[in-house]
Structure 1
Amino acid sequence: MRKTLRQAGRATGHLALAAAMAFGLWLFITVLIITAVGTLAVVGAWLLPETVLIIRRIAGAKRTLTASWTGQKIPEAYQPLTGTVRARIRTAVRDPGTFTDLRWMVAYWFYGALLALALPLWPVGLVVDGVWGGLLRRTPVVLPLIVRIADLEADWSTALLKPSPKAQLAARVEELAATRADAISAHGAELRRIERDLHDGAQANLVALSMRIGLAKRAYDRDPETARKLLDEAQAQAETALTELRQVVRGIHPPILSDRGLVGAVRALAASSGLRVSVEVERLEEDGLRAPAAVEAAAYFVVAEALTNAAKYSGSPVASVQLARLKRGLRVRVADEGKGGADEKDGSGLLGMRRRVAALDGTVEVTSPVGGPTVIDVTLPCVW
């Protein structure tokens, strides 16, 4: 009985919020009328994209409310309203998400109003069931009905607010276009870094090596001691050039990944980070299975960047790394107990990390409230 009461109370709260939102949508009709008149009169056409943005926020609030009841997130797919006024109007009119939201809004005016009218009857039902079940020891009748109504309301909202396949496809195209641009940008930056490292490091050492060998050849017959000294210097210069080349190669694909695998490479990063880092591994590299090289490299650089940021900025001596094999991907989670407040705009490397992951169609979630903790959660899709 107590469990039923809790469920019914929660359902009543959910339905009360749903009814309040329906009442607010009835008031919103005035805004829709003003927008329609202004758009038809042309002079107020700029109101259309702004109204669509408001509708998106209202629908987003309803998605959040419904997800809090069902426990399942409702996806959304919108085309960005950017550019000139004409472009924003065109996008607002053609976006399938606009039709989806308006369809839900119209339907919600009716079944939300029914919820509002029935709401005063539910407290009576709670009292009746309380007496019925508590004094007469009978099975509650009204309380399960309230929960069922809340389930139906959530099912209707989910069905109406779920993006159409066309909207999801359009949003996916926009997302892929953005990630492709980020991948091209990241690739260009990587090429410039490699070129700079080769020019300033290995290339300069190789030029000096060539000069010393030439001087040694000229001095070989008339001054063997000087030639020997020049050859010794040339050997040292060659070793320096090899070291520079190894550094460049390590930046492209760390050799430790090939030698030890991702788990071994991450443990090595943890040991050399200067922090006390715990590494947890779940179902990774079982039966000799490994992620593709590009995925391992991206995961390695995520951990390296995150631990570097933690050592520099967090102020905490402790961090943790979790590697988990998913059904269709790899999950990397790096956390520290520092001061938080990480911002992608302050040059902390988070933007570069996001671009590297986006190039593989992965996702990055950064949680870093002021005061901590900072958690970086990355998912990289792959086939095992």
Structure 2
Amino acid sequence: MWKTVRRAARATGHLLLAAVMAFGMYIFVTVLLITAVGTLAVVGAWLLPETVLLIRRIAGAKRQLTAAWTGVRIPEAYQPLTGTVRERFRTAVGDPGTLTDFRWMVAYYLYGALVVLALPLWPVGLVVDGVWAGLLRQKPLVLPLIVRIADLEADWSTALLKPSPKAQLARRVAELAATRADAIAAHGAELRRIERDLHDGAQANLVALSMRIGLAKRAYERDPETARRLLDEAQDQAEQALTELRNVVRGIHPPILTDRGLVGAVRALAASSGLQVVVDDAGMGEEVRAPAAVEAAAYFVVAEALTNAAKYSGSPRAEVALTRTRRGLRVRVGDVEGRGGAEEGSGSGLLGMRRRVAALDGTVEVSSPVGGPTVIEVELPCVW
């Protein structure tokens, strides 16, 4: 009985919030009428995108309310309202999410009344079920009905607010377009880095090597001692050029990944970072390797995060966790006693990290409150 009372009380709270939202929706009709008149009059066309944004916020609040009751998140699929007034107007009208929200609003005007009418059932249920179940030892009648109404209201809201396949496709296309742009930017930056490293390092050493060999050839007959010295210098120059080339190759795909795998490569990074780094790889499970691109991205994330921690955090310690998930690979890097306050636009490398991960359709979450610590969590999808 008490379990039923508690669940009915929670259902009543859900219905009360839903009823408040329903009353707000009835008042919102005025805003819709003003928008409709302004849009028809053309001069008020700018009202439509703003109204659509407001509707999105209302629908978002309803999604959160419904998810709090059902425990299942309702996804959103909206196209961004940006650009000129004409572009915003065109997006607001053509976005499938606008039709979804409007359809829900119209339906909510109707079934929202059911929510309002169900509120008095709570005191009635306490009295009726108190006698029926408490004194006569029968199963409660009214209180389970309150829970059923809350379930029904949540089911209807979920069905109406769930994005249509067309909206989900439009959002996915927009995400892929942004990801492609980030991948192109990351690829361009990588090419420029390689070109710079080759030009400033290996190429300069190879030019100096060629000059020394030429001088040695000219000095060989008349001054063998000078020629021998120049050849010794040329050998040193060749070794420097090889070192530079190895560094360039290591930046493209570290050979240690091929030799030791991701776990071994990350442990080597931790050992050479200058910090006290604890590596937790227990979540990697069986020795099944991720695709090379995924391993390279994970290695880059750990290397960049540990470099940032050593340079900016002020913390002597850091933690790295590698976890194999059902959908891919999770990488978590955090300093233990850092000062926090990391920002993407401050030269910390976070933007490059985000672009590299986005190119693989992954996600990056950065938590860095002022006072620390800074925690970077990356999800990289892959098939094991």
Give TM-score scaled by structure 1 length: 0.94
Partner residue, 2:254: 254
CA distance in 1, matches of 2:370, 2:32: 40
Deviations 1:28-61 (A, max 9, x none): 1110000000000111011011101111111111
CA distance in 1, matches of 2:10, 2:368: 31
Partner residue, 2:302: 303
Counterpart secondary structure, 1:20:
helix
Give TM-score scaled by structure 2 length: 0.94
Contact 2:213 2:230 in 1 (8 A): yes
CA distance in 2, matches of 1:123, 1:347: 61
For structure 2, which runs of at least 5 residues remain unmatched after alignment?
A: none
CA distance in 1, matches of 2:132, 2:316: 60
Which amino acid counterpart does residue 268 of structure 1 have in structure 2? A
Aligned-pair CA distance for 1:2: 4.0
Contact 1:202 1:241 in 2 (8 A): yes
CA distance in 1, matches of 2:119, 2:313: 50
Aligned-pair CA distance for 1:203: 0.5
Partner residue, 1:204: 204
CA distance in 2, matches of 1:342, 1:361: 23
Counterpart secondary structure, 2:372:
coil
Partner residue, 1:61: 61
Contact 2:118 2:149 in 1 (8 A): no
Root-mean-square deviation (CA, aligned residues, Å) is: 1.9
Deviations 1:56-93 (A, max 9, x none): 11111111111222222111111111222111111111
CA distance in 2, matches of 1:200, 1:23: 68
CA distance in 1, matches of 2:334, 2:7: 35
Task: Report 1:285-304 matches (<5 A).
Answer: 286=286, 288-304=287-303
The answer to whether structure 1 residue 269 and structure 2 residue 269 are counterparts is yes
Farther off after superposition, 215-224 or 33-42: 215-224
Which amino acid counterpart does residue 380 of structure 1 have in structure 2? L
The answer to whether structure 1 residue 328 and structure 2 residue 327 are counterparts is yes
Structure 1 runs of 4+ off > 6 angstroms? Answer: none
Partner residue, 1:52: 52
Counterpart secondary structure, 1:76:
coil
CA distance in 1, matches of 2:189, 2:155: 47
Aligned-pair CA distance for 1:309: 2.0
Contact 1:284 1:290 in 2 (8 A): no
Farther off after superposition, 65-74 or 334-343: 334-343
The answer to whether structure 1 residue 106 and structure 2 residue 106 are counterparts is yes
Change (3 A) 1:307 1:160: same
Contact 1:5 1:143 in 2 (8 A): yes
Aligned-pair CA distance for 1:329: 1.7
CA distance in 1, matches of 2:349, 2:221: 55
- Identity, % of aligned pairs? 84
For structure 1, which runs of at least 5 residues remain unmatched after alignment?
A: none
Partner residue, 1:87: 87
Aligned-pair CA distance for 1:285: 6.5
CA distance in 1, matches of 2:311, 2:134: 61
Task: Report 1:108-257 matches (<5 A).
Answer: 108-130=108-130, 133=133, 138-257=138-257
Contact 2:121 2:146 in 1 (8 A): no
CA distance in 1, matches of 2:187, 2:121: 63
Change (3 A) 1:132 1:318: farther
Partner residue, 2:28: 28
Farther off after superposition, 114-123 or 35-44: 114-123
Number of residue pairs matched?
383
